Chains A and B, each alone.
Chain A
Amino acid sequence: MKTIWRYVRKYWLFALLASAFMVAEVFVDLLQPDMMARIVNEGILGIGNNGVSDLPLILSTGLRMLLVVIAGGLFGFLSGMFANITGYSCANDLRKGCFSRIMYFSFGQTDRFTTGSLITRITNDVDQVRSLIMQMIRGLVRCAMFFVGGTMALLRLDLSFGVIVACALPLILIDIIFVVWRTNPLFLLLQQCLDRLNSMIQEDVTGIRVIKAFVQEESEEKRFARANQDLVNTQFNVQMMLSFLRPVMNIVLNLAVVGILYVGSVQVRDGSLAPGSVMAAITYISQILNGMMMLAMIFQTISRGATSAKRLEEVLLTEAELHEEIPAADELPAGEDRSPEAVADRNAAAPASETESPAKPGTVVFEHVCFSYGADDGQTPPGKGNREILHDINLSIRPGETFAIIGSTGCGKTSLVNLIPRFYDATQGRVLVNGRDVREYPPEELRERVTVCLQKSELFSTTIRDNIIAGRADASEEEMVRAAESAQAHGFILEQPQGYDTPVAERGMSLSGGQRQRVAIARALLKGGDVMIFDDSTSALDLRTEAALYTALRKDYEGVTKIFIAQRIASVRSADRIAVMDGGRILGVGSHEKLMKFNRVYREIYDSQMREEEQE
Chain B
Amino acid sequence: MSTTVQSSSVARQGFRRGGRMNPGAPVEKPKDGKKTFGRMLAWFRPEWGYVLCLALAVLLAVGASVVGPSLQSSAIDKMVTREFDKIPRFLGLMLLAYLANGIATLLQGFFSARLSQRVIFRLRAQLFQKVIGLPIPWLDNHSHGDVMSRMTNDAENVSNVISSSLSSLFSGVLMLIGTVVMMLRYSPALTGLTCVTVVLSVVLTRVMTRIMRRYYLRRQQLLGTLNGIVEEKVSACRTVTAYNLQKQAITEFDSASDELTKTGISADIIGNAMGPLMNMLNNLSFVIVAAFGAWFALRGSISVGVISAFIIYSKQFSRPVNELAQLYGQIQTAVAGAERIFEILDAESEDRSGESTLPVTEGTVEFSHVNFSYVPGKQIIHDFNLRVEAGKKIALVGSTGSGKTTIVNLLMRFYPLDSGSICVDGVDIRDISCDVLRDSIGIVLQDTVLFTDTLRNNLKYADHSIPDRSMLEAAQSANCDRIADALPEGYDTVLTGAGANLSQGQRQLVTIGRAFLSYPKILILDEATSSVDTRTEREIQNAMTELMRDRTSLIIAHCLSTIRDADQIIVMDQGHIMETGTHDELLEKQGYYYRLYMTQFAGQET
Q: Which of B270-324 contact A (CB under 8 A)?
A: 272-273, 275-277, 279-280, 283-284, 286-287, 290-291, 294-295, 297-298, 304, 307-308, 311
Contact B3 A201 (CB under 8 A): no
Q: A539 → chain B, closest Cβ, in Å? A: 6
The CA of A485 and the CA of B538, in the complex, are separated in Å by: 35
The CA of A253 and the CA of B5, in the complex, are separated in Å by: 8
Contact B438 A261 (CB under 8 A): no
Closest to B398 in A: A542
The CA of A233 and the CA of B121, in the complex, are separated in Å by: 10
Identify which of A76, A77, A103 contacts B237 (C-beta below 8 A): A103
Q: A320 → chain B, closest Cβ, in Å? A: 10
B residues less than 8 Å from A219 (CB atoms): 464
A-B interface pairs (CB < 8 A), number: 481
Known contacts A39-B291, A118-B234, A604-B535: does B558 contact A542 (CB below 8 Å)?
A: yes
Contact B601 A72 (CB under 8 A): no
A547 at the interface (CB under 8 A from B): yes
B residues less than 8 Å from A55 (CB atoms): 295, 298
Contact B286 A461 (CB under 8 A): no
Identify which of B291, B399, B452 contacts A62 (C-beta below 8 A): B291
Interface mask (A553-593 → B, CB under 8 Å = 1, otherwise 0): 00000000000000111110110000000000000000000
Contact B604 A201 (CB under 8 A): no
Q: B462 → chain A, closest Cβ, in Å? A: 5
A290 at the interface (CB under 8 A from B): yes
The CA of A500 and the CA of B76, in the complex, are separated in Å by: 82
Identify which of B18, B230, B277, B400 contacts A99 (C-beta below 8 A): B230
A359 at the interface (CB under 8 A from B): no
Contact A39 B290 (CB under 8 A): yes
Contact A300 B15 (CB under 8 A): yes
Select the stretch in A150-158, A343-351, A374-382, A406-414 that faces chain B: A406-414
Select the stretch in B78-86, B174-182, B363-371, B375-383 that faces chain A: B78-86
Contact B132 A214 (CB under 8 A): no
Q: A545 → chain B, closest Cβ, in Å? A: 9
Interface mask (B1-29 → A, CB under 8 Å = 1, otherwise 0): 11111101001101101100000000000
Closest to A616 in B: B587
Known contacts A258-B94, A294-B6: does B291 contact A279 (CB below 8 Å)?
A: no
Q: Which of A242-291 contact B (CB under 8 A)?
A: 242-251, 253-255, 257-258, 261-262, 264-265, 268-269, 275-276, 278-279, 282-283, 286, 289-290
Interface mask (A377-416 → B, CB under 8 Å = 1, otherwise 0): 0000000000100000000000000000001111000000
Contact A251 B265 (CB under 8 A): no
B258 at the interface (CB under 8 A from A): yes
Identify which of A206, A232, A251, A609 contacts B561 (C-beta below 8 A): A609
Known contacts A40-B304, A265-B84, A448-B244: does B76 contact A246 (CB below 8 Å)?
A: no
B590 at the interface (CB under 8 A from A): no
Contact B275 A80 (CB under 8 A): yes
The CA of A264 and the CA of B87, in the complex, are separated in Å by: 11
Instruction: Give the secondary structure class of B's interface.
Output: helix
Q: A454 → chain B, closest Cβ, in Å? A: 6
A residues less than 8 Å from B84 (CB atoms): 265, 268-269
Q: B544 → chain A, closest Cβ, in Å? A: 14
Q: B427 → chain A, closest Cβ, in Å? A: 18
A202 at the interface (CB under 8 A from B): yes
Contact B5 A246 (CB under 8 A): yes
B253 at the interface (CB under 8 A from A): yes
Known contacts A203-B451, A454-B242: does B604 contact A574 (CB below 8 Å)?
A: yes
The CA of A179 and the CA of B521, in the complex, are separated in Å by: 59
Q: B127 → chain A, closest Cβ, in Å? A: 9
Identify which of B272, B298, B452, B605 contacts A199 (C-beta below 8 A): B452
B530 at the interface (CB under 8 A from A): yes
Select the stretch in B47-55, B95-103, B547-555 that faces chain A: B95-103
Closest to A92 in B: B261
The CA of A72 and the CA of B281, in the complex, are separated in Å by: 11
Contact B399 A542 (CB under 8 A): yes
A residues less than 8 Å from B435 (CB atoms): 215
B residues less than 8 Å from A598 (CB atoms): none
A3 at the interface (CB under 8 A from B): no
Query: What is the size category of the interface that chain A forms with chain B?
Result: 35 or more
The CA of A254 and the CA of B295, in the complex, are separated in Å by: 29
B559 at the interface (CB under 8 A from A): yes
Q: A422 → chain B, closest Cβ, in Å? A: 9
B233 at the interface (CB under 8 A from A): yes
Contact B294 A72 (CB under 8 A): no
A209 at the interface (CB under 8 A from B): yes
A17 at the interface (CB under 8 A from B): no
B residues less than 8 Å from A202 (CB atoms): 144, 148, 497
Identify which of B99, B132, B268, B595 contacts A88 (C-beta below 8 A): B268
The CA of A290 and the CA of B509, in the complex, are separated in Å by: 63
The CA of A79 and the CA of B12, in the complex, are separated in Å by: 24
Contact A66 B79 (CB under 8 A): no
Contact A45 B80 (CB under 8 A): yes
The CA of A470 and the CA of B252, in the complex, are separated in Å by: 13
B141 at the interface (CB under 8 A from A): no
Closest to A207 in B: B449
Known contacts A80-B276, A544-B599: does B3 contact A409 (CB below 8 Å)?
A: no
Contact B276 A203 (CB under 8 A): no
A residues less than 8 Å from B308 (CB atoms): 279, 282
Select the stretch in B104-112, B335-343, B418-426, B470-478 that faces chain A: B104-112
Q: Which of B114-145 contact A (CB under 8 A)?
A: 114, 116-118, 120-121, 124-125, 128-129, 131-134, 136, 139, 144
Task: Known pairs A76-B280, A268-B79; list 13 more (Cβ under 8 Å).
Answer: A61-B291, A187-B17, A198-B148, A201-B152, A202-B148, A209-B412, A244-B109, A246-B5, A279-B308, A283-B311, A447-B241, A470-B245, A547-B602
A–B Cβ pairs within 8 angstroms, 5 of them? A104-B246, A114-B500, A115-B237, A190-B17, A514-B400
